[in-house]
Chain A
Amino acid sequence: NAGVTQTPKFQVLKTGQSMTLQCAQDMNHEYMSWYRQDPGMGLRLIHYSVGAGITDQGEVPNGYNVSRSTTEDFPLRLLSAAPSQTSVYFCASSRGAGGQETQYFGPGTRLLVL
């Protein structure tokens, strides 16, 4: 199993540009989520999905869109990038959303918005 994979590893954008961060998992996990990690802020939840076709907002959803058309993939879209979205983005997945389920993280995407 490859686990949770993310592409690209690093991206530079100009303000106003759009892009999609890709996330895929091969563990047949129902629950997937996106976090951003900023210095001094810890990891914060952006959006999550409890299964294909179902998504919901997390703590910091503004400026981001998600969709879940398959169990395996959970892309994160930035519609119009802003410097405040400079961060490291992590995708995570687990079998379910219950407290007994361990969330496994991908290697991250470093995004710089100029």
Chain B
Amino acid sequence: EDQVTQSPEALRLQEGESSSLNCSYTVSGLRGLFWYRQDPGKGPEFLFTLYSAGEEKEKERLKATLTKKESFLHITAPKPEDSATYLCAVQAYSNTGKLIFGQGTTLQVKP
């Protein structure tokens, strides 16, 4: 069964304190791994797509990496505006178009 587990569930950081969010996955043939950001009361906002182990993508203070079993979202020198819930999702070759989501990590960055 395809599964996605994110950890930790919640993370509190001081402004400037770098950290990483983890997304572990079990899927029968990975077609793509997606990271989204979700602000309270809003829909998920696309951040990155990763397709193969070893791939990395960056956007401002965020960097996503992928291995055969997990993905990390590294946050470098975070700011309060980075506070949000970060969602990880996978798409398998056997489930065209269907995204399997993890439960998310809620990040709070204090000034």
Beta-carbon contact of A99 and B31 below 8 Å: yes
Provide the B23-49 mask, 1 if CB < 8 A to any CB of A, else 0. Answer: 000000001101010000111111001
How many pairs of A and B residues are in contact by the CB < 8 Å rule? 63
A38-46, A64-72, A77-85: which lies at the interface:
A38-46
Is B87 at the interface (CB under 8 A from chain A)? yes
Report how far A98 CA is from B99 CA in the complex, Å.
Answer: 11
Beta-carbon contact of B46 and A40 below 8 Å: no
- The count of residues in chain B whose C-beta lies closer than 8 Å to any C-beta of chain A is 25
Kindly provide the distance from the CB of B64 to the nearest chain A CB, expressed in whole angstroms: 14
Check A105/B45 contact, CB under 8 A, given A43-B99, A44-B101.
Answer: yes
B43: contacting residue among A97, A98, A105, CB under 8 A: A105
B97: contacting residue among A90, A94, A106, A107, CB under 8 A: A94
Having A43-B44, A45-B98, A90-B44, one finds 14 other A-B pairs with CB under 8 Å, namely: A33-B97, A40-B103, A42-B101, A43-B99, A90-B43, A97-B96, A100-B49, A102-B46, A102-B49, A103-B34, A103-B99, A105-B36, A107-B42, A108-B43
